[in-house]
């Protein structure tokens, strides 16, 4: 075969000799990041890449989507497309977004991380062709975004946005802009808005004067006051202010959101009256999610009681139900006991997903009634069930339906419960975080689950022997959380990864708050071929040797490179941190947590110098959890100090 000579065009002769159809076929098999890497090689590839990008109908320009963010999309079609066309860790700037989308006339579905975008970018992505739009982590957008989208995207069917209030813009501006958008997007079926602000008055954003299109089937509003929630649901008072006390449903003139099938509200307080208004007016509802976060204990007249749960049970149409009191709240649902849960369970036999959080007086009798009555249950989540114990599951007949179980902060949960879950052959997600009586003997049971991909054991009482058992099992775990398991040492991590299936399956690993040394981290770096997210915050004995092993160019050969690395309070790291993560080390790194380290010891210019060699990198120095999932609304930009 004749030898091809590379010329100044970077291999242009070779690519120009290939048929255009073949080039386009190759491009169709590459993700966006790979396409962007090919574009500068030569004119031929640049042309092919531009042509390929211009005809994409589905595009995901977000960072990795968590399970909570994915569930908030409320749209099965877009969920599937997002997973199929995932372009990970792309967080575009105004300039790069313009390059990607300007020539695209076919785009219909877009998921966009907006942390570096402002109002000037709206004209780029708000295309007439857009049908489904998800905007995440918007820290620089004003209320203008709603007006612009309503003007340009008249055929929009699904819209999801999470954004922070900018420059103390008044709530009235948001209310007006949202109203203009809803008046113009007459095909809208799903509308989800999460707004974040430091001011309480912002919960008054949603005025009852807003007209919700009758086409809306999925609605999410965060936050909203109790009064405005009632006005939304009842169409300015339908049902009467006191009718719920008598249990009488007043005739309705047709609420504006009568056709709703899914409703999510984050309110100041969940009450029986709110539940009555929902069950009396929204007759097609099959998914309901209510969350509150009261600052002080509510009175009997202003809290959820057994009466409210009885109303939900008599409604009888729900497939998915979530009732939670926020994690930051100092109060619990003290007016609900086993009777209320029993009344709920008896009427909600169709439930496939149930999440309960903050029910302080519900015992095993109430929780077990759910398992007995809800035979189709696939997802069960109980947060802060103070009286929940193993007895709930004693008469539990395992079925193949359960795919997700989360029992968080159950102080009476022991290893015995894992025997029951080991019989759930389709279980994929198991979260037992802060169930401190879980010990090593239970891991032998769940290690046989062949479909389990997510396991959260943070704060439980397991040791090195338990990790050895877990590593020798058959579970293809992709996400493993061992945070705060204080009996785990370097030896346990090494044994877990020795000849284990986890070497090829682990993608996300949390080893925070453990007494680990470089031995454990080097073992992870050498053994785990797919690891992309690693959290080792507050590991005080980690040194530069761990960074060298994790970021060396040799490690990335045949292995996935790290995308997110949390080093918060790893105080033994030297002042060379910025140099050790600069090019050519840690290729592909997108997020770095360096709070309470010596990262800034070399001067204030060190972060800027690092970002110049890694333009897609974000550096967080304020202690956010990995990826800033818990604090994106409190800062913006690439360097956070």
User: What value does the mean pLDDT take over residues 355-383?
Assistant: 95
Residue ranges with strand state E in 103-215: 109-113, 132-138, 158-164, 190-196
Residue 442 Cα to chain centre, angstroms: 28
pTM of the model: 0.87
Name residue 136's beta-bridge partners.
113
User: What value does the mean pLDDT take over residues 569-573?
Assistant: 94
User: What value does the mean pLDDT take over residues 331-360?
Assistant: 94
Query: How many other C-beta atoms can be found within 10 angstroms of the C-beta atom of residue 560?
Result: 14
| CA proximity to 408, closest of 378, 452, 438 | 438
User: Which of 239 and 349 is assigned the larger pLDDT?
Assistant: 349
On average, the pLDDT of the chain sits at: 84
* DSSP code per residue over 111-139: EEE-TT--GGGHHHH--TT--EEEEEEES
- 288-308 burial, b at 16+ Cβ within 10 Å, e below that, comes to bbbbbbbeeebeeeebbbbbb
- 112-129 burial, b at 16+ Cβ within 10 Å, e below that, comes to bbbbbbbeebbebbbbee
What are the pLDDT digits (tens) for 104-153? 889 999 999 998 899 999 999 999 999 999 999 898 999 999 999 999 99
169-173, 495-499, 568-572 — which is least confidently predicted? 169-173
Looking at the predicted structure, is the pLDDT value of residue 194 above 50?
A: yes
The SS3 of residue 377 is coil
| CA proximity to 135, closest of 126, 199, 627 | 126
pLDDT for 127: 94
Q: How far apart are CA 554 and CA 545, in angstroms?
A: 15
User: What value does the mean pLDDT take over residues 624-636?
Assistant: 75
Max Cα–Cα distance, the chain, nearest Å: 90
Q: How far apart are CA 562 and CA 84, in angstroms?
A: 21
**pLDDT tier, 250 (very low <50, low <70, confident <90, very high otherwise):** very low
Cα-flanking dihedrals φ and ψ of residue 192, to 5°?
-130, 120
Name residue 265's beta-bridge partners.
221, 290
User: What value does the mean pLDDT take over residues 44-59?
Assistant: 81
What are the pLDDT digits (tens) for 438-495? 999 999 989 999 999 999 999 999 999 999 999 999 999 999 999 999 999 999 999 9
Residue 145 Cα to chain centre, angstroms: 23
Highest-confidence segment of 282-296, 390-404, 499-513, 624-638: 499-513
pLDDT for 16: 65
Provide the angle, in degrees to the nearest 10, between the axes of the packed helices 43-54 and 20-28.
60
């Amino acid at each position: 075969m004749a030898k091809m000579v590379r010329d100044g065009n970077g291999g242009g002769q070779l690519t120009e000799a290939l048929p255009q159809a073949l080039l386009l076929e190759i491009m169709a098999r590459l993700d966006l990041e790979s396409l962007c890497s090919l574009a500068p090689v030569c004119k031929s590839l640049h042309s092919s890449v531009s042509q390929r990008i211009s005809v994409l109908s589905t595009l995901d320009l977000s960072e990795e989507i968590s399970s909570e963010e994915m569930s908030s999309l409320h749209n099965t079609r877009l969920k599937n497309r997002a997973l199929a066309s995932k372009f990970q860790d792309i967080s575009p700037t105004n300039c790069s977004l313009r390059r990607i989308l300007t020539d695209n006339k076919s785009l219909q579905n877009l998921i966009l991380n907006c942390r570096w975008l402002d109002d000037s970018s709206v004209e780029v992505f708000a295309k007439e062709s857009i049908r489904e739009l998800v905007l995440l982590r918007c820290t620089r957008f004003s209320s203008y975004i709603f007006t612009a989208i309503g003007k340009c995207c008249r055929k929009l069917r699904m819209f999801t946005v999470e954004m922070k209030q900018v420059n103390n813009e008044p709530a009235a501006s948001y209310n007006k802009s949202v109203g203009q958008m809803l008046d113009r997007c007459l095909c809208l079926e799903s509308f989800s808005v999460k707004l974040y602000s430091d001011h309480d008055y912002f919960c008054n954003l949603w005025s009852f004067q807003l007209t919700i299109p009758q086409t809306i089937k999925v609605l999410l509003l965060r936050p909203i006051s109790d009064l405005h929630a009632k006005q939304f649901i009842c169409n300015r008072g339908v049902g009467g202010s006191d009718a719920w006390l008598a249990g009488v449903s007043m005739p309705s003139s047709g609420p504006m959101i009568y056709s709703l099938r899914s409703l999510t509200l984050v309110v100041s307080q969940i009450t029986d009256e709110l539940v009555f208004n929902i069950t009396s007016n929204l007759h097609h509802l099959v998914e309901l999610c209510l969350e509150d976060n009261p600052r002080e204990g509510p009175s009997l007249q202003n809290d959820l009681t057994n009466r409210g749960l009885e109303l939900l049970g008599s409604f009888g149409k729900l497939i998915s139900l979530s009732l939670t009191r926020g994690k930051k709240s100092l109060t619990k649902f003290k007016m609900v006991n086993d009777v209320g849960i029993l009344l709920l369970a008896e009427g909600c036999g169709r439930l496939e997903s149930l999440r309960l959080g903050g029910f302080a007086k519900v015992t095993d009798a109430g929780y077990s009634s759910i398992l007995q009555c809800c035979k189709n249950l696939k997802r069960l989540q109980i947060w802060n069930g103070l009286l929940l114990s193993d007895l709930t599951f004693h008469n539990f007949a395992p079925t193949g339906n359960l795919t997700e179980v989360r029992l968080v902060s159950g102080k009476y949960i022991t290893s015995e419960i894992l025997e029951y879950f080991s019989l759930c052959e389709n279980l994929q997600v198991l979260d037992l975080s802060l169930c401190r009586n879980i010990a090593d003997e239970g891991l032998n049971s769940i290690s046989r689950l062949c479909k389990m991909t997510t396991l959260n054991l943070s704060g439980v009482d397991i040791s090195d022997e338990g990790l050895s058992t877990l590593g020798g099992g058959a579970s293809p775990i992709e996400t493993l959380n061992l945070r705060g398991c204080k009996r785990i040492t370097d030896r346990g991590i090494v044994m877990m990864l020795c000849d284990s299936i986890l070497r090829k399956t682990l993608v996300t690993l949390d080893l925070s708050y453990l007494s680990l040394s470089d031995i454990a981290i080097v073992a992870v770096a050498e053994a785990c071929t797919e690891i992309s997210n690693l959290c080792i915050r507050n590991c005080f004995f980690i040194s530069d040797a761990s960074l060298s092993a994790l970021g060396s160019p040799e490690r990335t050969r045949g292995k996935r490179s790290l995308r997110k690395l949390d080093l918060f309070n790893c105080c033994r790291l030297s002042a060379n941190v910025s140099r050790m993560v600069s090019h050519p080390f840690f290729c592909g790194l997108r997020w770095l947590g360096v709070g309470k380290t010596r990262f800034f010891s070399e001067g204030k210019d060190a972060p800027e110098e690092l970002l110049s060699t890694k333009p897609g990198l974000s550096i967080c120095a304020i202690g956010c959890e990995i990826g800033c999932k818990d604090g994106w609304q409190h800062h913006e930009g690439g360097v956070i100090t």
